[in-house]
Amino acid sequence: MSENSEQKKGIIAGRTPGNRTVFRPRVLILIACGIAVNFLLSTLVRQTDLPFYIDTVGTIIVTAVGGIVPGIITALCTNIINFTMDGESVFYASLNMMIAIATGAFFESKRIKTVSGKFMFILIISLIGGGLGSIITWFLYGEPSDSPMIVTIMEWLEDTFHMSIFGAHVVSTFLTDFMDKSISVMIALIVIGTIPEEIRETLMVYGWKHRRLTKKEQGSVTSNIKGHISIGMRTILTIVMSTFIMTIIVTWFSLINYYDATVEQAAAQAEQIAYIASTYIDPTKVDDYIRFGDRVPGYTETAQKFMDLMNSSDDIQFLYAYKPENNGCRVVFDMDATLPDGRFVPGVAPGALVDYESEFAQYRENLLLGDAIPTLEVHDEYGDYLMTYYPVRDENGHCICYAVSNIKLEVVSAFTTDFIGRVVLLFAGFFILIVVIGVWTARYRIVMPIAGMTAYAGEVAFMDDELYALKLKKMESLDIHTGDEMELLYKALCKMTSDTVVQMNDIKMKSEEISKMQTGLIITMADMVESRDSDTGAHVQKTAAYVRIILEGLKRHGYYIEKLTDKYIRDVEMSAPLHDIGKIAVSDTVLNKPGKLTDEEFAIMKTHTTEGRKLIESAISKVEGDVYLKEARNMAGYHHERWDGRGYPEGLHGEVIPLSARVMSVADVFDALVSPRVYKPAFPLEKALSIIQEGAGTQFDPKVVEVFMDSLDEVVKIMNKYKEA
């Protein structure tokens, strides 16, 4: 298919889709129906205890019919609604949104139409839903799913392949989800197949704000970007990175606030425990407890209350009562404890003197005075804790001892880890939504309009003169209507391009007029010189035509290819009529002598080469720039040089002779041979060609002769044309 037909097809098949936003009523109804399908099927599964979810059918249908943006909206809304029912679905929203993206990719590329494509699609969304989903489940709950089917498969995997619990959980969840997604895809494809193509077309949400570009047009700009990042990629990276950074910042501040709130709550719990423990202690018996321990009536009962209180919560690691002294604390009560790692820590006997914890050493004077002190974090060989000292006072308000509780900080860390995990999962869904919509909007409102304008603006700048109007029409066919600065830029570019086309057409017309005038002057000048020579017969026109034929033949054969540019060929052809301009300095007596010239007369005749070169060099000195007259000078001065170096005026040889002069040499001699002169009749064509061939490698450039002989058909046409004229 040609470029024009490809672009024409793109213009017809890719017309601007019009208002195809997600906010159209029919699209909103489609999304609502997709959410309803997901919710109803998932509710049915929950009510019947089936080992599946079937909560992505609506997402697949909406994405296939309406596009990726409606699909991810359907997925997110479905999980938010289901969250109100089960309290966990929202944390899996990112997975269903990724399934919507995968669905859009498969349906847009048409791979879903093949059996292998369907299998690959089911496999990929199962890896998303089952593989990643199983990891999220393990992270949220720290244990495998309790689904009977998953449990059965896990047990089989553990017994047969000796897999770990986590590995068996992941594999069994994936296998179960593969069956779930297979059913979901089959249901979705059946429903999609019942929707007429014309209805599906009206429901599809397009982002194009101008005529839809063909794939070739979309790639024409980015294919020329080498070593740099395209504006599309920069925009996408900006959206992704800014959204990611925003998510990290929000998550970080949420974590800090949650951690502080959790620590504050744990500190309140520690203080409450210490207060309760303080109420168990009889302040009048504290000194007896220290001296005699369990021999004092009521000691054992109080110790049991301490133990019961300690066992009432897994968060309590240590519970005891101390009486501060200058050198340390006297133990009143100290309960046995078991650390999280299984180590047993026996309680210290009453009356023993223990050191102050390093964190509380600074508060020793306060403790001796019976003051209240803040809850502090303690880090020792037993772990990390929040420790609270609560004073036990007598009836006069004097502090007798302190009840001390230790709450595990691991509990705070566990809560914090669980919190950050849930926040990340929650934000992941909104992150995907923001990125997809942001990238989608940037692509169709910025990247594609710029790509279209860049492609056609570049074509206008470098195109063939005859295609100006066509390229302008194609640019106008983009029909960008973003309703913002991009549309204003497009309209300004169209106007500028239109003005440029008008200017270039004017320049082209004037250039053509100047070129025709210039060519006419050259021909007239050459004819004036030739009219002094009785050997007329359109010599300058014929030699110019022969020169063009030879030059094009050399280029066709690949000879002197670095020299034979289009400009060079045009310059040589235009200046060819001036090759004998120097004859204006030769007297009529010598120029029109019917017989053979004497040596003196031939010497005068040879001066037409040097005189011609001087005339043209004088003209060149009066014109600035790279003018075609430089080749006219070469031909005028050197067209009588010979390949073997025996020519005149300078005896140049081989490729030292300018190429244009070597070409003119063959053209000039051939025309002289086949044309009548005052000193001879016209030679037959065969004899003239024989003389030319014999001169190859001596008088003429052999490559020029070869090309001349290969182009005889064209040469003969020119010869006969002017013979008849």
Encode pLDDT of 172-184 as tens digits.
Answer: 999 999 999 999 9
- Give the bridge partners for 408, in sequence order: 385
> Rounded to an integer, what distance in angstroms lies between the CA atom of residue 348 and that of residue 573?
115
- Identify the CA nearest to 188 among candidates 97, 378, 60, 65: 60
Task: Give the side-chain half-sphere CA count within 13 A for 174.
Answer: 15
Would the pLDDT of 489 be above 60?
Answer: yes
* Each residue's pLDDT tens digit, 29-47: 999 999 999 999 888 877 7
Q: Which residue would you say has higher pLDDT here, 230 or 37?
A: 37
- The reported pLDDT for the residue numbered 61 is 95
Assess contact for 204 and 20: CB atoms under 8 A: yes
CB 331 within 8 A of CB 349: yes
Predicted confidence band of residue 706 (pLDDT cuts 50, 70, 90): very high
Highest-confidence range of 144-148, 294-298, 570-574, by mean pLDDT? 294-298
Residue 690 belongs to what H/E stretch? Answer: helix 685-694
Cα separation, 178 vs 161, in Å, equals 20
Q: What average pLDDT does this structure show over 125-151? A: 85
The Cβ-side half-sphere exposure at 650, using a 13 Å CA radius, reads: 15
Q: Using CA atoms, how far apart are residues 353 and 95, in angstroms rounded to an integer?
A: 59
Q: What is the mean pLDDT of the segment spanning 663-669?
A: 91
User: Does position 560 have pLDDT exceeding 50, yes or no?
Assistant: yes
Q: Nearest 5°: phi and psi at 379?
A: -130, 110
Q: Give the SS3 label for residue 694.
A: helix
| Contacts with 408 (C-beta within 8 Å, 6 or more apart), sequence order | 315, 316, 317, 340, 383, 384, 385
Output the pLDDT for position 392. Answer: 95
Starting at the edge strand that comes first in sequence, how are the strands of the sheet with 353-354 ordered? 353-354, 328-334, 316-325, 399-408, 383-393, 376-380
Q: Among the listed ranges 62-71, 303-312, 547-556, 612-621, which one has the minimum average pLDDT value?
A: 612-621
Mean pLDDT to the nearest integer, 235-260:
81
Contact 393, 278 (CB under 8 A): no
Q: What is the mean pLDDT of the chain?
A: 83
Residue 713 has pLDDT above 60, yes or no: yes
Element at 406 (helix H, strand E)? strand 399-408
Label the pairing between strands 376-380 and 383-393: antiparallel
Confidence of residue 60 (pLDDT cuts 50, 70, 90): very high
Q: What is the pLDDT of residues 89-134, one digit of tens each?
A: 888 889 999 999 999 999 988 899 999 999 999 999 999 999 998 8
pLDDT for 467 equals 57
Residue 56 CA to its chain's centroid (Å): 29
Over 50: is that where the pLDDT of 446 sits?
Answer: yes
What domains can you pick out in the chain, each with its CATH number? Answer: 11-206 (1.10.1760), 258-416 (3.30.450.20), 532-724 (1.10.3210.10)
* Secondary structure in 3-state letters for 177-225: HHHHHHHHHHHHHHHHHHCCHHHHHHHCCCCCCCCCCCHHHHHHHHCCC
Question: CA–CA separation, 82 vs 39, rounded Å?
Answer: 7
Q: Between the CA of residue 682 and those of 205, 593, 596, 671, 708, what are the distances in Å?
A: 80, 17, 16, 9, 19
Is 12's pLDDT higher than 60? no
* DSSP letter assigned to residue 385: E
Strand (E) or helix (H) holding 401: strand 399-408
The model's pLDDT over 393-437, given as tens digits with 9 standing for 90+, comes to 999 999 999 999 999 887 676 767 777 777 788 888 888 888 888
**Residue 628, Cβ density class (10 Å: 0-12 exposed, 13-18 middle, ≥19 buried):** middle
pLDDT at 2: 43
- CB count in 10 Å sphere of residue 298: 14
Q: Looking at residue 226, what is its pLDDT?
A: 55
Task: Return the amino acid letter for 200.
Answer: R
pLDDT of amino acid 219 = 63
CA dihedral 695, 696, 701, 705 (to 10 degrees): 100
Q: Max CA-CA distance within the chain?
A: 161
Q: Which one-letter amino acid corresponds to residue 243?
A: T
Q: How confident is the model at residue 139 (pLDDT cuts 50, 70, 90)?
A: confident
At residue 253, does pLDDT exceed 90? no
Name the residue among 436, 430, 434 with its Cα closest to residue 68: 436
Query: For residue 11, is pLDDT > 50?
Result: no
Predicted pLDDT at 192: 93
Say which residue, 383 or 501, is predicted with more confidence: 383
Q: Is the pLDDT of residue 3 over 50?
A: no
How far are the Cα atoms of 362, 547, 684, 714 from residue 665, in angstroms, in the given order? 112, 9, 19, 18
Rounded to whole angstroms, how far apart are CA atoms 87 and 46? 13
Q: Which range among 433-437, 531-535, 588-592, 691-695 shows the weakest confidence by mean pLDDT?
A: 531-535
Listed residue (379, 110, 419) closest to 261, CA to CA: 419
CB 319, CB 335: distance < 8 Å? yes
Q: What is the pLDDT of residue 621?
A: 77
The region, left, alpha or beta by phi > 0 then psi within -120 to 50, assigned to residue 212 is: beta
Could you tell me the pLDDT band of residue 515, with boundaries at 50, 70 and 90? low
**pLDDT score, position 8:** 40
CA distances from 169 to 96, 131, 273, 561, 715 (A): 20, 10, 40, 71, 87
If pLDDT is split at 50, 70 and 90, which confidence band does 14 have? Answer: very low
Between the two ends of the chain, the Cα-to-Cα distance in Å is 45
Here the tokens at position 316 are: 């309590």
